[in-house]
């Protein structure tokens, strides 16, 4: 149990349940404290709806959010509740119209579905926004309802204060991200107006880390590794274990797995990882800094690659990895195994084709007895090129919060809705407004939490980034 969970137990009496109520829209522009109150109310409303995929509840959530936009004066044609591609997936598309001009729209992404949570597993009700000792606790408070509440509140505030961007801002709230990403795939391929966007900002990726309570670094996510699982299988006639044969399913599979263990995919670098290493080198000292700097150079040294590959994190950033994760073989203590199976999970660097990885595995295993098949169809996604305007907008927002900390371009190892938007040809950047300590928010786990002050600071983060990217007055000319 983490120390923060202990604090939660002690602080149970201090639990504050936030009521879900619609705040009246004021005639004048919302103050910062009113904005925070609205954001909290929206987050509470979202958490209170158990928007688990397959339950048919995401539609109710997006309808509640749509009501807020209509009440704030958004025209009905700019607030679209779209249910699909299945009847249990609710999505919302809201457009804040900008002044006419050349600039193409920006897409803003958040998903509103969550991984389910059981009340019996949690200290507190997961579907109530609880506030305990400076933290919001509830399913989805970090992944990704904070991000959704940030975007919704920011657009409502823009409308309220009369801010007219110089381009359209189009927010997509999607269901099914935690399952198949079917909501975003359906929207992005079905609505041609979305494909006109210049780029997308994803609230479900990127974000900052803190160390000892202070800001440490901010990760701007531009890329995702491709996820692909292989099944290794050896079938054998078997027989009595008192009369072993030369061929044995367990031995064949073991040899194959040992070859996988010894194999290292070639080191590859892209603009994202080079940029990341360049910034990381500044945070380190001595020999380590020299090795990291070498990775960022035009010709990384073999020695630096070898040294840094000893570290699992650097290794994963440098190359495609494949690792055995499950094993199953044999059926009786006194029988030769008739089958042996293993699962090998690969995380593939952007740009490398799944077929190439499969061919490599077959080549290094080099045993026709071992059949290798794919367990899932991988979704490739090319890294989005770093944009100076996005970079400088994010830098400004981060500087305002934690001056001097580095902005690191990052590649993540899982998949988000952003993957599908990139695949539709729209560069996508993960720029979440939260900073968390290295232990994280326990997203998908019990007692998911986010610091209250971080949630509120995220509002300013989005306000600054979006205004920087959609105000002619702040663009350099
Ligand atoms: Zn998420």
Task: Tell me how far the alpha carbon of residue 290 lies from the centroid of ligand 1, in angstroms.
Answer: 35
Task: Tell me how far the alpha carbon of residue 416 lies from the centroid of ligand 1, in angstroms.
Answer: 6
Distance CA 208, CA 196 (A): 30
Task: Tell me how far the alpha carbon of residue 117 lies from the centroid of ligand 1, in angstroms.
Answer: 15
User: What pLDDT does 415 receive?
Assistant: 75
User: What pLDDT does 28 receive?
Assistant: 65
Listed in order, strand segments (DSSP E) in 321-385 are 321-329, 335-336, 339-348, 370-374
Average pLDDT, the chain: 91
Buried-exposed string 312-338: b where 16+ CB fall within 10 A, e elsewhere: eebbbbbbbbbebeeeebbeeeeebbb
Cα 123–chain centre separation: 26
Task: Tell me how far the alpha carbon of residue 178 lies from the centroid of ligand 1, in angstroms.
Answer: 7
Task: Tell me how far the alpha carbon of residue 263 lies from the centroid of ligand 1, in angstroms.
Answer: 32
Task: Tell me how far the alpha carbon of residue 293 lies from the centroid of ligand 1, in angstroms.
Answer: 32
**Domain spanning 226-374: which CATH class is it, in words?**
alpha beta
Residue extents of the structural domains in the chain: 3-205+416-474, 226-374
User: What pLDDT does 269 receive?
Assistant: 94
Task: Tell me how far the alpha carbon of residue 73 lies from the centroid of ligand 1, in angstroms.
Answer: 29
CA atoms within 13 A on the CB side of 266: 7
Residue numbers in the chain where pLDDT is lower than 70: 1-28, 414, 473-477
Task: Tell me how far the alpha carbon of residue 237 lies from the centroid of ligand 1, in angstroms.
Answer: 46
Distance CA 280, CA 407 (A): 9
Task: Tell me how far the alpha carbon of residue 177 lies from the centroid of ligand 1, in angstroms.
Answer: 7
Task: Tell me how far the alpha carbon of residue 389 lies from the centroid of ligand 1, in angstroms.
Answer: 25
Task: Tell me how far the alpha carbon of residue 202 lies from the centroid of ligand 1, in angstroms.
Answer: 10
Comparing CA positions, the residue from 255, 6, 15, 52 lying closest to residue 129 is 15
Task: Tell me how far the alpha carbon of residue 316 lies from the centroid of ligand 1, in angstroms.
Answer: 21
Task: Tell me how far the alpha carbon of residue 113 lies from the centroid of ligand 1, in angstroms.
Answer: 8
Distance CA 450, CA 18 (A): 15
Task: Tell me how far the alpha carbon of residue 111 lies from the centroid of ligand 1, in angstroms.
Answer: 7
User: What pLDDT does 23 receive?
Assistant: 43
Write out the H or E segment, with its range, that includes residue 66. Answer: helix 58-71
CB atoms near residue 395 (< 10 Å): 17
Task: Tell me how far the alpha carbon of residue 300 lies from the centroid of ligand 1, in angstroms.
Answer: 34
Burial of 453 from C-beta contacts in 10 A (0-12 / 13-18 / 19+)? exposed
Does domain 3-205+416-474 bear CATH number 3.50.50.60?
no
Task: Tell me how far the alpha carbon of residue 428 lies from the centroid of ligand 1, in angstroms.
Answer: 15
Distance CA 357, CA 323 (A): 13
Task: Tell me how far the alpha carbon of residue 106 lies from the centroid of ligand 1, in angstroms.
Answer: 20
Task: Tell me how far the alpha carbon of residue 112 lies from the centroid of ligand 1, in angstroms.
Answer: 8
Task: Tell me how far the alpha carbon of residue 204 lies from the centroid of ligand 1, in angstroms.
Answer: 5
Distance CA 71, CA 355 (A): 51
Do residues 265 and 321 make contact, with C-beta atoms less than 8 angstroms apart? yes
Task: Tell me how far the alpha carbon of residue 221 lies from the centroid of ligand 1, in angstroms.
Answer: 13
Task: Tell me how far the alpha carbon of residue 105 lies from the centroid of ligand 1, in angstroms.
Answer: 23
Comparing CA positions, the residue from 135, 148, 161, 115 lying closest to residue 45 is 148
Residue ranges near ligand 1 (ion) with Cβ within 5 Å: 143-144, 204
| Region at 378 (left for phi over 0; alpha for psi -120 to 50; beta for the rest) | beta
Task: Tell me how far the alpha carbon of residue 143 lies from the centroid of ligand 1, in angstroms.
Answer: 5
């Amino acid at each position: 149990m983490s120390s923060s969970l202990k604090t939660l137990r002690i602080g149970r009496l201090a639990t504050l349940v936030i009521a879900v109520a619609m705040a009246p829209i004021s005639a004048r522009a919302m103050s910062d404290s009113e904005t925070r109150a609205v954001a909290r109310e929206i987050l509470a409303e979202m958490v209170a709806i158990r928007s688990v995929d397959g339950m048919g509840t995401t539609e109710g959530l997006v309808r509640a959010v749509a009501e807020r936009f209509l009440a704030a004066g958004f025209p009905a044609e700019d607030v679209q509740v779209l249910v699909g591609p299945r009847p249990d997936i609710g999505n919302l598309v809201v457009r804040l119209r900008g002044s006419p001009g050349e600039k193409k729209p920006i897409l803003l992404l958040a998903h509103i579905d969550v991984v389910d949570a059981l009340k019996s597993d949690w200290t507190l009700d997961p579907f109530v926004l609880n506030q305990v000792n400076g933290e919001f606790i509830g399913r989805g408070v970090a992944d990704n309802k904070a991000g959704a509440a940030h975007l919704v509140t920011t657009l409502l505030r823009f409308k309220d204060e009369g801010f007219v961007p110089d381009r359209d801002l189009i927010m997509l709230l999607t269901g099914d991200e935690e399952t198949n990403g079917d909501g975003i795939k359906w929207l992005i391929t079905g609505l041609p107006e979305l494909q006109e966007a210049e780029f997308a900002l994803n609230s479900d990726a990127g974000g900052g880390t803190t160390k000892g309570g202070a800001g440490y670094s901010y990760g701007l996510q531009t890329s995702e590794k491709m996820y692909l699982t292989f099944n290794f299988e050896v079938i054998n006639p078997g027989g009595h274990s008192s009369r072993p044969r030369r061929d044995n399913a367990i031995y064949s599979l073991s040899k194959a797995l040992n070859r996988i263990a010894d194999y290292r995919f070639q080191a590859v670098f892209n603009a994202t990882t080079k940029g990341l290493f360049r910034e990381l080198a500044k945070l380190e000292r001595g020999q380590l800094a020299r090795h990291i700097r070498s990775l960022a150079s035009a010709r990384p040294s073999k020695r630096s690659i070898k040294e840094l590959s000893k570290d699992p994190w650097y290794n994963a950033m440098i190359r495609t990895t494949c690792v055995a994760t499950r094993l199953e073989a044999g059926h009786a203590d006194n029988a030769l195994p008739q089958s042996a199976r293993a699962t090998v999970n690969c995380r593939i660097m952007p740009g490398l084709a799944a077929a190439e990885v499969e061919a490599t595995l077959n080549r290094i295993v080099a045993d026709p007895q071992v059949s290798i098949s794919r367990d899932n169809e991988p979704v490739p996604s090319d890294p989005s090129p770093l944009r100076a305007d996005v970079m400088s907008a994010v830098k400004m927002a981060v500087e305002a919060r934690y001056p001097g900390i580095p902005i690191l371009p990052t590649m993540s190892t899982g998949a988000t809705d952003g993957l599908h938007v990139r695949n539709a040809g729209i560069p996508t950047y993960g720029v979440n407004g939260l900073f968390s300590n290295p232990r994280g928010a326990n997203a998908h786990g019990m007692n998911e939490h986010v610091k209250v002050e971080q949630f509120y600071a995220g509002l300013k983060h989005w306000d600054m980034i979006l205004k920087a990217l959609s105000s002619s007055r702040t663009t350099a000319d």
